[in-house]
A and B are shown apart, each in its own frame.
Chain A
């Protein structure tokens, strides 16, 4: 174990990402350099790429640049993972970023970020690299192996894209784990219970429901269902569109034409949503470009009526999952809530009704922080895979494939070969033959989904079986074996049985990167040798110190600086001088502590600057340039949601 290092668990989320590990018998989240457990899933390209190499920032610091330079920032990239050109185009209607001009059909779409272009897995790789670095900083040693979580309802291409991102970030992805299942692992650790568990996972952009059976440390998933386009974002969009409409009709201003202003208004909508989880009323109070104020109260009652249709969309998948598991709602012993959106009281009420909890004197489980529980579970799974741990040696996760696998048959119908909710790994063997004398190729189209027509399902891959010995039609017997591995990813092998030849397969994935492409996108080429590693830690620590020092100096020219109190300024100055002093030394941890101290001392300053940026965006001061680029209506999910709140 020591030679191979630790295995970390990573929650690569739509809004926030986290990395966790097992500290003894307890999973713990590893904080970043700013002390925060959550790394916003935001990637920004710094203004001036040095020597042609991109300088990229990730997380809170990237998020801060969103209002001022929206064209250099990308977020919610998880929504684009493993998707084709057309899907990305329709998805991008909701985002302030755009596709590169030179993308061709059949290629993995690239997103324009400043003067660079990146595929979604590359963007995710930057987030993963940040998490990897946070873990390495924490341990003081290299981290090369990880478990990454994905929504249970992710299809093959989305899973493969996530794995590719890991490889680009220099991580060997030992396993992809489904998010609701990970949450069950985190909860199952300290309770040696038996029974049926439902995990209801409503996040920022996706909804998953999984039914699990627990027995003797085995977590056996019975069924899973979900919606990859349902989450807190939809609620934000509702509040936002109401505010936009009212501003338009009452003040005659169409804010939709001002992207920076929409981003700021969205931040207010998110604040209101969060407030309504604990208060009976929330207020919008914004200054508009013409100097008017938009003031609006939203009582909880009105809000709950408004979001009811969104929340009700989770009921169908829950019922289907119960039916597929062959159980009734009353048979569910415990319900676990996961994802930030489950903080909404109306969501809890819906869950209590769906699973008839109140009548049975039960409450859903919310003991673990819903933002962290998935990462904690990933750490548990990482510990299982690393082996040699007494805490997890009795635990085993048996997950299922969320979607049926099929082959396109004559007439465009689908012949299902592996049913949804089959325990993985799962396999199926099919036999194919030729239709014409002397035919040496057979083409096969593999799809994923529940619909009867291939055109309505998700196309996974087309492949040709080549090198079939010429025989009369119908005589060759080609055996094709389809295998869904423990990550939920398909592998295919084939053999011509009469001649005994291994038929050659040329696979053309419908979506996704080739091995060579992934290889060429690997972010860092440096090796992880121990000696180099210590040097790298020092270099990185100095770099971080330089970055924050430069930012503080820059901030002194900002109007926000003048709003600071005297003692705040002297604290910042003291921290600044201390960091300058230790920076030249060789002790990376001392540099890091000093960096952290300076960062902490500037929190209020950063907030003031953020507010100033938002206000100026509302007033249209920084909208000019951005506004020209972004003429699409903005109803995008937004990373300005507070990274952490109680």
Chain B
């Protein structure tokens, strides 16, 4: 089931021996498939890092590269070419999955730029107090009290209608807040894509805190939805 993959990277094309740029999927000289290049996800699509992407173009490019790289195209090729097709396609798929999603794309770019951002994984940083947006602390505390009350009353068998309405309103409010965060993020994409280095640095800081806020609010919405559903 599990095997060790050899990831040796030759500097010249394994087939025609002409030296080539390390970040190409195919040898520019003989067009043969190459081992996974070392560049970032953007370079897989021949893009420079940017946040406002044309998703239609990205999909088109993804399909075009898939046709050439996919292991189905190498079912009867040499063992090395098979391995590289597998590794290259995994890279392509990982890159596409990351870049087509606005939040994952933003997180990825910020990480590339050396920013420290929280992980999407549930549970990992939910309780990290340094990540809680200060202005939401009190509201979130009240909301959690209400959620607790709701769970208790549901356990007893009668959901308090007043509480129910309150929570539904809260959900609406936080969903609106999410929309607001998203539009702030999109505004920052423009700043980053078109700015010089100092402007980008400034924008990155803002995006890191917007993402923290988004994650936090998202968790609140999820908690409310779960409590209302049970």
Contact = CB atoms under 8 A, between A and B. Distances in A.
Given A160-B1, A427-B94, A486 B66 contact: no
B5 A493 contact: yes
B72 A509 contact: no
Contacts of B127: none
Contacts of A396: 66-67, 70, 72
B72 A385 contact: yes
A481 B87 CA distance: 11
Given A396-B72, A509-B1, A483 B63 contact: no
B91 interface: yes
Nearest to B96: A423
Contact of A425 (B73, B90, B123): B90
B2 to A, nearest CB: 4
B72 A483 contact: no
B72 A397 contact: yes
Interface in B63-98: 63, 66-67, 70-73, 75-76, 86-87, 89-91, 93-94, 96-97
B32 to A, nearest CB: 16
B121 interface: yes
Which of B63, B75, B87, B91 counts the most chain A CB atoms within 10 A?
B75
Contacts of B90: 425-427, 483-484
Measured as residues with beta carbon below 8 angstroms from the partner, the interface class of chain A is 35 or more
Given A385-B75, A486-B71, A507 B1 contact: yes
Contacts of B91: 427
Given A385-B75, A387-B75, A461-B2, A486 B121 contact: no
B1 A460 contact: yes
B5 A491 contact: yes
B89 to A, nearest CB: 5
Contact of A505 (B4, B67, B73, B94): B4
B155 interface: no
A422 B67 CA distance: 18
Interface string A214-230: 01101010000000000
A149 to B, nearest CB: 15
Please classify how large the interface on chain B is, using the bins under 10, 10 to 19, 20 to 34, 35 or more. 20 to 34
Residue of A423, A428, A493 with highest tally of chain B CB at under 10 A? A423
Interface in A90-139: none
A491 B72 contact: no
B96 to A, nearest CB: 7
A398 interface: yes
A415 B121 CA distance: 7
Contact of A218 (B2, B5, B66): B66
B25 to A, nearest CB: 14
B7 interface: yes
Contacts of B121: 415-416
Given A415-B121, A425-B71, 12 more contacts: A218-B63, A218-B67, A385-B75, A387-B76, A397-B72, A425-B86, A427-B90, A427-B94, A481-B5, A484-B90, A494-B4, A505-B2
22 contacts: A160-B1, A175-B71, A175-B72, A385-B72, A385-B76, A386-B76, A387-B73, A396-B66, A398-B70, A428-B94, A461-B2, A463-B2, A481-B7, A483-B5, A483-B87, A483-B90, A486-B70, A486-B71, A490-B2, A491-B2, A492-B4, A505-B2
Interface of B: 1-5, 7, 63, 66-67, 70-73, 75-76, 86-87, 89-91, 93-94, 96-97, 121-124
